[in-house]
Structure 1
Amino acid sequence: MSSTKDPWDGHPDVVRLLGAPPSRWADVVGRVLDPGWQTLVLALVVSLRHSPTVASGLGWAVAATTFCVVVPYAVLAALVGRGHVTDRQVVIREQRRIPLLAALASVVVGLVTLALVGAPRPLVALVATVLVGLLVLGGVSRWHKASFHAAVTTVSVVVLTRELGPGFLLVGVPVLALAAWARVRAGRHSRAQVAVGLVVGVLVTALIDHTTI
């Protein structure tokens, strides 16, 4: 009688995840601050603030979210369903490649489309930020499992502070700290992986701000 051994048994990412004591709050924070939800909020805020009408702002937000969130997450769900990826949060670094390539393709199409049809420039810049972030995190992921949650939350804090004013930092900074804590507490990332995600978020937003303003 033969037994099939999971090829990922003993993988550092799996060992860390299984070794973390269960934490309901860390899991809740991870779901609430999912990069997809954050991207949706950013698209809504930016679109509504820079569109002539609420209707057009909502339309632009839906378009951006479709390319940056809906399509990539649909591909990810299909990969999880077929067993190519262990779980929706892609705990194993080596399994990031195909979801990242699919996300990159979708975001590139979205960026070109939005630019060609005259979307508000700040929204185009936001989608460009998503694209550059994916490229950087994809490159880093070849050697290091940087935290997407940390990177996207950093981008969210920077963008929303720019859009809503410096007072947002009173909310944004604690939320960023909470996101970092949750990823480590849940065993999804090490402190170093969260730190790299934070740095990537800062660098990407600084780059896009410099090249689009």
Structure 2
Amino acid sequence: MRHLTRLLPLAALLLSLTGCMVFQSNDAEQFGTFPPPELGQRPAADRVPVVFDTSYRLVLGDEEYDRLPRNIGTVNYKAQEAFEGTGVFRVVRESKDADCRVAFRVRHEGYPNRAFQLLSLITLYVLPSTASDQFTTEVELRRGEQVLGTRTIHHQVRIWNQILLVFGYPFTRFEQIGDRMWTAVMRDAAVWSARQIGKR
């Protein structure tokens, strides 16, 4: 036990030096320029007022969480940024002021690899530990009671932690990972919604 106690400060030091690499994949549409020129730019008075209805469900093994106001706030912030960025929509807070409603149903499933995490700890982070997060965002666009369309966007983030990746850490900040992910997802949702509006 005494030897284990002596190793704890070393383990803590190595953990503080541990770096990570992040791999992302998604099926969101990618845009060379945003907004795409096809959408045009509406005068402010002609932009479609839209309101968001967002839910966020986090699944970790057998446990589920759905009271996540911070996550919902992040999704809504990136959605507002993307939808108003199209030049087609303006975001409102009250349903009575909106012509359209966009519902986002986010399911976030986390898959930590506990076996790798244990081996990584035993080897003082020489062996990597991994975790995978999968996001499914269902988008539904409504005008009144009429459903104009639905779309599903998948996104996966895989993280590798290892002491040998320490020099990569400054280039991989977790807030940047989330920012890039939600920017891509919400730009897809915003352009898709604008196209649905343009068809009618």
Answer yes or no: same fold by TM over 0.5. no
- Higher-Rg member (1/2): 2
Give TM-score scaled by structure 2 length: 0.30
Q: Which has the higher helix share?
A: 1
Give TM-score scaled by structure 1 length: 0.29
Q: Which has the higher strand share?
A: 2
